[in-house]
Copies of this chain bind each other. A is one copy, B any other.
Amino acid sequence: MVKDSQFKGKVRIKEVGPRDGLQNERTFISTADKIHLIEKLSESGLDYIEASSFVRPSWIPQLADASPVLTRLIRRRGVMYAALIPNLRGLQRALHVSIDEANIFMSASEGHNKANINKTIEETFPILEEVVKEAQANHLTVRGYVSTVIACPYDGPVQPEQVLYVVDRLVEMGVTEISLGDTIGVGVPPQIERLLELLLEKYPPTLFAMHFHDTYGTAIANIVKSLEMGIRIFDSSIGGLGGCPYAKGATGNVATEDVNYLLTAMGYETGLDHGKLLEAAFFIESKLGKPLKSRQLEMARGEVKVDESC
C-alpha cells in the first residue's frame, strides 16, 4: 500500500456484518459462531458493532437468536453493541439483554417503506417515535437508518428533498445519528454529492453515516465523494457479507476490509488491525461454506497476485 503522506484525521467504520450482512445469508450460522464472529470483530479495533436484529423472529430466522447472542457475548470495553429495533416490542426484548444503542429504520421512498415495513412513511413516524422515547427513557441513544436515499426498487429515483424530509422528522424525534443507505447500490458520486449538499446546508456532517452496497461497484467511489463532503462515519460489513439470500454470489454491503484499505491508503486513521479483520472474515467464510468476495480477501487468498509485468 502506498499511503497518502498527508494525515487526514480519523474515520469511524461501523460494522454491520453480524446484522445487515448475516440477515441476507441463507446458511444458518449458529449462535456460538455469531458470538465468535462478533468477538473477533471487536478484537480488530472496531468500536461499533451492530450485533443483531430484534425484528419478529419469524421474519428473519437467521437473527431469531438476537437475545442469546447479546446475552452470552463477552463484551469488550469501549465497544458499542447496537441492534436493529423495528418497534416498541423489539426494543423491550433488546432492553432485557442490554444494548448500547437502538437502531431504527425506514425508507425515504414510499414503495420500499411499504414493502419493508408494510406502512406508509407517515404511518411509520409514530411507531419510531415511540421507540425513540422509550429508548431515551432507558438512557439509550438512537441511530436512524434511512434506506433508498438514491433510488427505490419500486419508485425509481429518490429526490434529495424527500430524504431531507425524513431526516428532519427523525432529528425532531431525537435520533442522534442518521445512516443514509443506497440500498440497491445504484448511486454514483454526483448523486451522493447532490444529496449531501442539501443535507449539509442544514445539518453538520457529524450527524450522518453513509451506508453503501456495492452492487454496481460504485461503493468505494461513493465513499470517496462522501469523505470529500465531510462525512467521517461509514457502515460496512466484514467480508462484504450480505446481499440477497436468493442468489449465489450476491453482492452486499461494501466490505469492511476494503473500506479500511481505502481509508488507510488515503491517509485516514481507522484504528483497525487489518490482519484481524481478515481473520474475522475468514472465520465467517468458513462457516458460510462459500467464498466471500472482497478484494482484500482475494488478495489474502492469493487469488490476486499483483501483476508486475504489464
Chain A interfacial positions (CB closer than 8 Å to B): 1-2, 4, 6, 20, 23-24, 112, 115-116, 147, 150-151, 153-154, 156-157, 183-191, 213-218, 220-221, 223-225, 242-244, 246-252, 258, 261-262, 265-267, 294-296, 298-299, 302-310
Contact = CB atoms under 8 A, between A and B. Distances in A.
Please state the number of chain copies in the assembly. 2
A265 B309 contact: no
Contacts of A305: 243-244, 246-247, 250
A7 to B, nearest CB: 12
B306 A215 contact: yes
A55 to B, nearest CB: 10
A186 to B, nearest CB: 5
A167 to B, nearest CB: 19
A261 B2 contact: no
30 contacts: A1-B186, A2-B150, A2-B151, A2-B157, A4-B188, A115-B308, A147-B310, A184-B306, A186-B265, A188-B224, A188-B262, A188-B266, A190-B266, A215-B295, A216-B261, A216-B265, A216-B296, A216-B299, A217-B217, A217-B258, A217-B262, A218-B220, A218-B262, A218-B265, A221-B223, A243-B307, A244-B307, A249-B303, A250-B305, A251-B295
